[in-house]
Each structure stands twice: as structure tokens, then as C-alpha cells.
């Protein structure tokens, strides 16, 4: 499936990265109603400008918890951005002028595969334009003046950014979908991976596709007689390159985040002996925010009684209300239950890519509305699927604003039941039918 191009915002702390990201996100096309709960304050955002969609990365959001110097911090940010972005937006602060941190970033960006765009923030007053000229010295081309706070210059800046994105390619559809087994260190990722692949062929090929994907194997998933091919990502660090960084918590969490964003299906692996801990919830949240899809795999069931397993499942499912995933219980060590893992992944993947013919959606939603009507005076006239990965639907109603959230949830649940939409977010918009 095709990936969205990536735009990363880098810059020293406090130059206004998050303000800029928030400003850009607020310009998204008019959405009459969308399921709440998909927070916008995460490091990865889906943005749109001039008809182009892209992933907007706020690298300020990935500052490691460990105290590191400013230079190390901006270097790391810039490297991450350079690694994955098609366009890197280097944000600077007019009030500070060119700083040491800017010079460090400029140096890193010279190695970028993607293009860099320089923006000078906090130019709230066009009369201050002279401030901008000093930034030519960074050697990153024209410094674009903006005020993230007031929105000045942001549209022009986005025009430049969008013009540098690689051409959108429908042909990228050919790429195989990706499956990632994600979880905290020691939950059993590599044990499970080895189990799934057979001990002696743990890593089939080191890399494939993009430079940052370490792929453990290409696998075939069988579901109802149909075979689907997937790339299974090496999230456990069983490959040689990744092994070096294995054990370094920041890098393992970075690898997890990357895998989640790059994968179509994430299997969240939990260690039943730990119950649910903060790290699990953080990863769960990342999966929801990434717009990926997910299944839950509770590991080490050989060590934990069934009632506790049930409790753990209940806890995690209560957190993943946007995705409503299914779960399976396994022991990667003994192999018990492991044969349920890939079928789970296949079901989730299928739900994620679901496409329902238009007349069928309209009919099904029509029946659902007939069974329990919306509040008096509101008429749902039509329904259609408007997107996939994950599935999106649009309802057309005479008075969209009067359709309560609870009613949308009723429709959502009906769609989930009917089409087996477990482990995917189901977005429903309502538009005016007039």
C-alpha cells in the first residue's frame, strides 16, 4: 500500500515547533463531525495542504527522557528527521537570531536525502523582515518568514513544502503490507518471532523496501482459503544491525514507534506476568494515534492463571476503545496458542483494507437506521465508504449537527459487527445532504 510522504519539523527547543504543527493541523479541510479521541497533540499527525496529504512529524515530541545536552538533542532530532522525512522543515527563532543549535541542525540536514526548507518564526510584524536575512548564513536557501502564533506566512510556507513532496504514486500499491510485533523489552518479541518463523530461520533477509525497515521475513497468511503476503518487521532486533542497539531503551522505543507507523498491522505483545504497565499503554496509544490497526497478544500464559489473563485483556481493551481489537493468549516459550497469532493478524489486515461496495453500505446503514431511528427530525439519507486503511464512512444527513455522538456510535458498532471491523478505527463523518 502507498505511504504518505513525511514532513518533519526540527528546531531548537522553544522556537515554536508545536505551535507551527498545531497551526497546520487546524487548517485541515472542513470536517463536519469526526469521532473524537484521536488526539492531535502527538508527534505524528496526518496533515493536508493543497490537496496533498502528508504525515507531519513534530520532533519536539520525541525528546528522550534522559537529560542530554542541547547539541545532542537537536542532532538526534535532525537525524531522525533526515532518516524518514521527504521534507525537513527547519524552524528557527527570529528573536534569537542564528544559534549554535541552528548551525548543528543545518550541518545534519546537508546529509538529508529529502529536501530542507528553512523557516524563521516569530516574525509577527512584517516590518521586522530584516531579521530574516541573517538566516541566509545557514546555507539552507531562502529563509521563509512566518508567525506560527498568528498564522502569518504559514500558507506560503506550506506551498513550498508541498511543492517539494515526491509525486504521489498510486503504483506504490504494489508494496506488500507490513506486520509488526510490538511491545516493551522482554515481553517476548524475539521468542515469538522465532517461534513463528521456526527457530533456525529467524532472519530471512536483513532489509527490504525502505532503508529503515529491518524485515524478519516475508510471510504468507491464510484466511478462509485466501493467501495474503506480508512483510514481518524485525521489531525485536534479531537482525545484526538492530542487535547492536538492542537494550538501549531510547532506540528500542524509537524502533517501536517507527514500526508502528510503517506497519499496516501492529500486534501488541503483552507480558502477562507484568499485568498492564505504563509502557504498554504508551505503545497502545501510539498504535491508536498512528492510524494503524492492531491485535492484542497476551504472552507468557504458561505463568499466569486464566482469570488474571482475562483481567489483563479487559484492561488493555478498555484503553483501546478507538480500535476495539481482539486478543489471543499465547506462550511463545512453549508454543501454546501461537497458531492463533497469524490468523489474528490476517483478520485485522483484512478489516483494515476493507472495501465495501457503495450500494451495500447504503443498504446496510439504511437497515440499521430503520431498526433504530435517529432523533426526531434528523434524516440520514445516504451512506458510503469514503476511505480505507482504516475504513472511513460518510453519512449524509439533513441536519448533521443534530446527530448525537451516541447515534454515530450505534452505526459504528453495527458496521463493526457486520464487517468484522475489530482492531481498526472506524471513522464516520456526517455531511449535510443539502
Name which of 342 and 421 has its Cβ closer to ligand GDP: 342
Q: Provide, rounded to whole angstroms, the least separation between the CB of residue 245 and ligand GDP.
A: 13
Question: Could you tell me how many residues of this chain bind ligand GDP (CB under 6 A)?
Answer: 16
Q: Return the sign of the alpha-carbon dihedral for residues 90, 91, 94, 95.
A: negative
Instruction: Give the C-alpha separation, 27 to 4, whole Å.
Output: 18
The residues, any chain, with a CB within 8 Å of residue 353's CB and separated by 6 or more, are 1, 177, 264, 388, 389
Q: Which helix (H) or strand (E) holds 384?
A: strand 380-387
Q: Provide, rounded to whole angstroms, the least separation between the CB of residue 297 and ligand GDP.
A: 10
187 belongs to the binding site for ligand GDP (CB under 6 A): yes
Q: Which one of 39, 163, 186, 212 is in contact with ligand GDP (CB under 6 A)?
A: 186
331 belongs to the binding site for ligand GDP (CB under 6 A): yes
332 belongs to the binding site for ligand GDP (CB under 6 A): yes
Q: Which one of 45, 191, 327, 368 is in contact with ligand GDP (CB under 6 A)?
A: 191
248 belongs to the binding site for ligand GDP (CB under 6 A): no
Instruction: Give the C-alpha separation, 241 to 206, whole Å.
Output: 8
Q: Which helix (H) or strand (E) holds 130?
A: helix 130-133
Q: How far apart are the first and last CA of the chain?
A: 34
Instruction: Give the C-alpha separation, 133 to 144, whole Å.
Output: 10
341 belongs to the binding site for ligand GDP (CB under 6 A): no
Kindly compute the dihedral angle of the four CA atoms of residues 323, 329, 332, 335, in this order, to the nearest 10 degrees.
-130
197 belongs to the binding site for ligand GDP (CB under 6 A): no
112 belongs to the binding site for ligand GDP (CB under 6 A): no
Q: Which one of 189, 261, 347, 353 is in contact with ligand GDP (CB under 6 A)?
A: 189
Binding string, residues 286-325; x marks residues near ligand GDP by CB under 6 A: -------------xx-xx----------------------
- How would DSSP label each residue in 295-359? EEEEE-GGGS-HHHHHHHHHHHHHH-TTT---EEE--TTT-TTGGGHHHHHHHHHHHHT----HH
154 belongs to the binding site for ligand GDP (CB under 6 A): no
122 belongs to the binding site for ligand GDP (CB under 6 A): no
356 belongs to the binding site for ligand GDP (CB under 6 A): no
- Count other C-beta atoms under 10 Å from residue 309's C-beta: 17
Q: Provide, rounded to whole angstroms, the least separation between the CB of residue 255 and ligand GDP.
A: 11
253 belongs to the binding site for ligand GDP (CB under 6 A): no
Interface ranges with ligand GDP (CB under 6 A): 183, 185-191, 236, 299-300, 302-303, 331-333
Amino acid at each position: 500500500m502507498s505511504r504518505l510522504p513525511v514532513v518533519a519539523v526540527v528546531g531548537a527547543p522553544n522556537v515554536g515547533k508545536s505551535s507551527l504543527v498545531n497551526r497546520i493541523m487546524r487548517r485541515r479541510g472542513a470536517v463536519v463531525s469526526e469521532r473524537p479521541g484521536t488526539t492531535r497533540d502527538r508527534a505524528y499527525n496526518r496533515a493536508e495542504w493543497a490537496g496533498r496529504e502528508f504525515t507531519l512529524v513534530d520532533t519536539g515530541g520525541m525528546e528522550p527522557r534522559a537529560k542530554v545536552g542541547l547539541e545532542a538533542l537537536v542532532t538526534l532530532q535532525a537525524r531522525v528527521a533526515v532518516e524518514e522525512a521527504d521534507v525537513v522543515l527547519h524552524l528557527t527563532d527570529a528573536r534569537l537570531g542564528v544559534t549554535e543549535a541552528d548551525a548543528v541542525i543545518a550541518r545534519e540536514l546537508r546529509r538529508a536525502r529529502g529536501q530542507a526548507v528553512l523557516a524563521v518564526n516569530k516574525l509577527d510584524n512584517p516590518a521586522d523582515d530584516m531579521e530574516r536575512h541573517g538566516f541566509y548564513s545557514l546555507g539552507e536557501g531562502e529563509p521563509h518568514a512566518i508567525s506560527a502564533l498568528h498564522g502569518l506566512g504559514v500558507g506560503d510556507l506550506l506551498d513550498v513544502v508541498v511543492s517539494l513532496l515526491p509525486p504521489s504514486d498510486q503504483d506504490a500499491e504494489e508494496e506488500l503490507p507490513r506486520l509488526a510485533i510490538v511491545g516493551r523489552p522482554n515481553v517476548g518479541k524475539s521468542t515469538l518471532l522465532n517461534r513463528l518463523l521456526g527457530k533456525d530461520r529467524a532472519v530471512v533477509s536483513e532489509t527490504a523496501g525502505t532503508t529503515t525497515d529491518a524485515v524478519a521475513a516475508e510471510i504468507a497468511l491464510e484466511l478462509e482459503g485466501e493467501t495474503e503476503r506480508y512483510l514481518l518487521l524485525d521489531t525485536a532486533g534479531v537482525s545484526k544491525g538492530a542487535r547492536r542497539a538492542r537494550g538501549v531503551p531510547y532506540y528500542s522505543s524509537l524502533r517501536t514507534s517507527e514500526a508502528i507507523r510503517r506497519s499496516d498491522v501492529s500486534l501488541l505483545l503483552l507480558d502477562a506476568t507484568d499485568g498492564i504497565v505504563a509502557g504498554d499503554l504508551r505503545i497502545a496509544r501510539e498504535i491508536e494515534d498512528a492510524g494503524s490497526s492492531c491485535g492484542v497478544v497476551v504472552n507468557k500464559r504458561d505463568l499466569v492463571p486464566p482469570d488474571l489473563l482475562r483481567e489483563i485483556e479487559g484492561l488493555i481493551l478498555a484503553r483501546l476503545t478507538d480500535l476495539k481489537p481482539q486478543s489471543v493468549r499465547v506462550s511463545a516459550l512453549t508454543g501454546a496458542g501461537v497458531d492463533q497469532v497469524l490468523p489474528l493478524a490476517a483478520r485485522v489486515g483484512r478489516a483494515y483494507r476493507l472495501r465495501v461496495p457503495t450500494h451495500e453500505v447504503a443498504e446496510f446503514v439504511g437497515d440499521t437506521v430503520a431498526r433504530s431511528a435517529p432523533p426526531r427530525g434528523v434524516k440520514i439519507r445516504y451512506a458510503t465508504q469514503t476511505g480505507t486503511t482504516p475504513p472511513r464512512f460518510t453519512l449524509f444527513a439533513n441536519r448533521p449537527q443534530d446527530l448525537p455522538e451516541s447515534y454515530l456510535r450505534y452505526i459504528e458498532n453495527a458496521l463493526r459487527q457486520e464487517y468484522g471491523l475489530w482492531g481498526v478505527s472506524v471513522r464516520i463523518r456526517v455531511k449535510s445532504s443539502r
